[in-house]
């Protein structure tokens, strides 16, 4: 068989940078994964990118090893039918652009409503409702080519005007989507141009590399222009393989198979293979979820925590799948409140993180150590750096050097959601080690649903209002995608109120830096600034887990906990509980 090849000329026709990236790969200066991500971001198809990656067989590995994604073994023959039952809270929702809670609600609507792009389990973004995209040499013009075979459930064809409508929704300050922070300074509604029925051009004010990644983020769900304001109403047209059957707050949700979906399965018939998917709200305690799983009431669950994984490991009735992520439990300080206006107090508390102990206990030893910057080794632009030292003795000396009674006797209240055992363990270990520095930490746990919701005292959300907290942050495939969400002026999710002009300027440069090595050089300084002068502590990066009944095939662990279940099918012969 003739070996498939891609010439440098063919790569250059897609984007002028691609031959240079191929040379960097060949010379071992970037990893194969970095090349694949960049090539697909610039518009090369995934299959062609894999062929082009052959130009660098001796490429270096990523800076830090991460767990390889795992999936359930596939059955030899696809079968149709069956219902996948999921333990997951069924929470209040309205506009999908305002989705929160680590994609839990988004997963319940993902089978019904879709996205322009999708980030797969390998952390590489590909076209989804788009057929392809291309970008100008300077990354300021992005051309989005829509698939021409997508139809809404009301019979309308999916067109460029619908894409324009969704961009207007994401950018509307009245809607208040976190996605607006990702586009801030780069794209305005006036920059979204309809070329024809199936082509949209994004005319950016500045270069931006992460355009496909932003379109895959979980609040970027595509809705019809007739959207009624409530995604759970059941009255909104959709394009996905399922339609919404029921959504009962605090009880259950159900989606049922659509017969005329636009994607075909391997058997030549329209997807999906399953008849239905159900989510059952058993409360926030995963001990109840485990009981339902082992008794056969449900088949899987949303984002199993570390205690669930510990309990189910070794149970032959279930697969436990894992992958490395950029998920984190972020310790953050509101730096416009005393005493955190003085960075030395923030640094003193961060010195009390015994990162290895925290990862060993809170994360069962799974994950990667953190650096007090919201850039993970999983991110392709991560610049290797030294892990900050655990040194409560130095923290005590630092506090004493500040002077004054308050400096010597620092006391703080730490607020966090207690539904995740790893967050609880993190808080308790931090309190224990901070005491060695003379720092008193008063723990203020509450249900995570309350922490992430408005209250009388904090109408914007407890997590956005408390002076010191630990907030669960979801995975994003690029650092230049997540940093604008929380660490720039005007960012909707800037919970720590930290703004640094030098950091912001460098971030804008990094967002438009196409060359991987150049971007990593900028990131090295960004990471240093945030680690030394910033408002957060990140002790470790979590691994993501999935637990599934073996009867359900083609289930994958996803770094962002996305439930990409369009091609999941049920094989009753492999179900140990039937």
CATH of the domain at 136: 3.90.76.10
Q: Both 538 and 562 in a single domain?
A: no
pLDDT for 131: 96
Specify the pLDDT at position 55. Answer: 60
Provide the pLDDT for residue 45: 74
Could you tell me if 244 and 344 lie in one domain?
no
Identify whether residues 49 and 78 lie together within a single domain.
no
**Total structural domains in the chain?**
4
Nearest one of 435, 395, 393, 428 to 414, comparing CA atoms? 428
Distance of CA 557 to the CA centre of its chain: 13
Which CATH number covers residue 314?
3.40.190.10
Of 67 and 499, the structure prediction assigns the larger pLDDT to 499
The residue among 216, 249, 272 that closes a domain is 216
Q: What span, in angstroms and rounded, lies between the C-alpha atoms of 410 and 396?
A: 10
Tell me: do 342 and 461 sit in the same domain.
yes
Q: What is the mean pLDDT of residues 282-299?
A: 96
Q: Is 226 among the domain residues?
A: no
> Do both 575 and 527 map to the same domain?
no
Give percent of the chain above pLDDT 70: 93
Torsion of CA 164, 169, 174, 180, to 10 degrees: -100
Other C-beta atoms lying within 10 Å of the C-beta of residue 29? 15
Does the residue 233 lie in any domain? no
- The three-class DSSP label of residue 410 is coil
Any domain includes 418: yes
- Residue 409 pLDDT more than 90? no
Shared-domain flag, residues 283 and 341? no
Asked whether residue 1 is assigned to any structural domain, the reply reads no
Mean pLDDT along residues 125-153: 96
Residue 391 pLDDT > 70:
yes
Indicate the average pLDDT of the chain. 91
DSSP of 288-341, one letter per residue?
HHHHHHHTTS-SEESS--HHHHHHHTT-TTSEEEEEEEEEEEEEEE-TTSTTTT
Residue 378 sits in the same domain as residue 295: no
Pair 103, 117 in one domain: no
* 235 assigned to some structural domain: no
Interatomic CA distance for residues 438 and 411, integer angstroms: 9
The predicted pLDDT at position 110 comes to 97
Q: For residue 194, what pLDDT is reported?
A: 99
Is residue 227 in some structural domain? no
Query: Above 70 in pLDDT, residue 559?
Result: yes
pLDDT digits (tens, 9 = 90+) for 237-266: 999 999 999 999 999 999 999 999 999 999
The end-to-end CA distance of the chain, in Å, is: 45
Same domain for 120 and 104? no
Q: Is the pLDDT of residue 76 over 80?
A: no
Among 53-57, 268-272, 278-282, which stretch is predicted with the lowest mean pLDDT? 53-57
**Cα–Cα distance measured from residue 429 to residue 540, given in angstroms and rounded to the nearest whole number:** 13
At residue 72, the pLDDT reads: 55
What is the residue range of 275's domain?
Answer: 66-110+240-318+549-578
- Judge if 22 and 81 occupy the same domain: no
Omega of the bond prior to 339 within 30 degrees of 0, cis?
yes
**What pLDDT digit, counting tens, does each position of 423-439 carry?**
999 999 999 999 999 99
Position 59 scores a pLDDT of: 34
- The Cβ of residue 389 has, within 10 Å, a number of other Cβ atoms equal to 9
Reported confidence tier of residue 10, pLDDT bands at 50, 70, 90: confident
Query: Looking at beta carbons, which pairs linking 135-139 to residues 24 or more positions away fall under 8 Å?
Result: 135/15, 135/42, 135/43, 135/211, 137/15, 137/16, 137/17, 138/207, 139/204, 139/207, 139/208, 139/209, 139/512, 139/514
Percent of the chain with pLDDT over 90: 78
Q: Model confidence over 302-335: pLDDT tens digits? A: 999 989 999 998 899 999 999 989 999 999 999 9
CATH number of residue 340's parent domain: 3.10.105.10
Write out pLDDT tens, residues 80-132: 999 999 999 999 999 999 987 657 899 999 999 999 999 988 888 999 999 99
> pTM value?
0.85
356 shares its domain with 483: yes
**Is 558 domain-assigned?**
yes
Does any domain span residue 144?
A: yes
pLDDT digits (tens, 9 = 90+) for 194-219: 999 999 999 999 999 999 999 999 99
Regarding whether 519 and 460 lie in a shared domain, the answer is: yes
Judged against a pLDDT cut of 50, whether residue 58 lies above it is answered with no
Report residue 27's pLDDT band, with 50, 70 and 90 as the boundaries.
low
Bond from prior residue into 272 cis (ω within 30 degrees of 0) = yes
Per-residue model confidence (pLDDT) at position 404: 52
- Return the biggest CA–CA distance within the chain: 78
């Amino acid at each position: 068989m003739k070996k498939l090849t891609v010439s440098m000329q063919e790569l250059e026709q897609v984007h002028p940078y691609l031959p240079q990236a191929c040379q960097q790969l060949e010379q071992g200066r970037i990893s194969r994964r970095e090349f694949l991500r960049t090539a697909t971001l610039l518009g090369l198809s995934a299959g062609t990118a894999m062929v082009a990656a052959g130009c660098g067989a001796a490429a270096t590995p990523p800076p830090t090893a991460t767990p390889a994604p795992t999936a359930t073994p596939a059955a030899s023959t696809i079968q149709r039918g069956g219902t996948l039952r999921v333990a997951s809270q069924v929470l209040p929702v309205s506009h999908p652009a305002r989705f929160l809670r680590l994609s839990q609600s988004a997963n319940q609507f993902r089978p019904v409503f879709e996205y322009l792009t999708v980030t797969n389990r390998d952390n590489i973004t590909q076209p989804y409702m788009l057929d392809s995209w291309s970008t100008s040499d300077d990354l300021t013009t992005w051309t989005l080519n829509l698939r021409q075979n997508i139809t809404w459930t009301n019979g309308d064809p999916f067109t460029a005007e619908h894409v324009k409508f969704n961009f207007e929704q994401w950018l509307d300050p009245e809607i208040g989507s976190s996605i607006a922070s990702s586009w801030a300074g780069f794209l305005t509604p006036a920059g979204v141009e309809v070329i024809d029925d199936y082509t949209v051009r994004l005319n950016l004010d500045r270069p931006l590399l992460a355009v496909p990644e932003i379109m895959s983020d979980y609040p970027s769900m595509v809705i019809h222009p007739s959207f009624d304001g409530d995604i759970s109403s059941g009255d909104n047209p959709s394009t996905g393989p399922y339609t919404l059957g029921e959504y009962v707050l605090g009880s259950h949700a159900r989606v049922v198979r659509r017969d005329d979906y636009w994607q075909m399965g391997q058997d030549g018939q329209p997807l999906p293979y399953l008849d239905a998917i159900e989510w059952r709200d058993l409360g926030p305690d995963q001990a109840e979820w485990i009981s339902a799983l082992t008794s056969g009431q449900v088949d899987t669950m949303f984002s199993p925590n570390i205690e669930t994984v510990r309990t189910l490991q070794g149970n032959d009735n279930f697969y436990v799948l894992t992958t490395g992520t950029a998920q984190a439990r972020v310790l953050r300080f509101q730096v416009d409140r005393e005493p955190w206006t003085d960075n030395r107090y923030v640094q003193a508390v961060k010195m009390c993180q015994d990162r290895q102990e925290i990862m060993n206990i809170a994360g069962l030893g799974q994950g990667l150590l953190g650096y007090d910057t919201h850039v993970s080794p999983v991110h392709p632009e991560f610049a290797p750096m030294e892990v900050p030292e655990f040194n409560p003795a130095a923290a005590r000396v630092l506090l004493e050097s500040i002077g004054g009674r308050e400096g010597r006797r620092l006391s703080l209240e730490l607020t966090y959601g207690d539904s995740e055992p790893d967050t609880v363990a993190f808080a308790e270990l931090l309190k224990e080690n901070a005491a060695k520095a003379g720092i008193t930490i008063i723990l203020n746990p509450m249900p995570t649903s309350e922490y992430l919701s408005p209250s009388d005292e904090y109408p914007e959300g407890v997590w956005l209002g408390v002076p010191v907290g630990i907030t669960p942050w979801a995975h994003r495939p690029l650092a230049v995608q997540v940093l604008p969400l929380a660490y720039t002026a005007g960012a909707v999710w800037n919970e720590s109120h930290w703004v640094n002009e030098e950091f912001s300027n460098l971030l804008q440069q990094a967002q438009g830096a196409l060359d991987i090595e150049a971007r990593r050089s900028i990131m090295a300084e960004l990471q240093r600034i945030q680690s030394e002068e910033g408002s957060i502590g990140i002790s470790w990066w979590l691994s993501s887990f999935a637990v599934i009944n073996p009867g359900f095939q083609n289930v994958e662990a996803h770094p962002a906990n996305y439930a990409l279940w369009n091609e999941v099918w049920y094989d009753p012969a492999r179900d140990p509980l039937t």
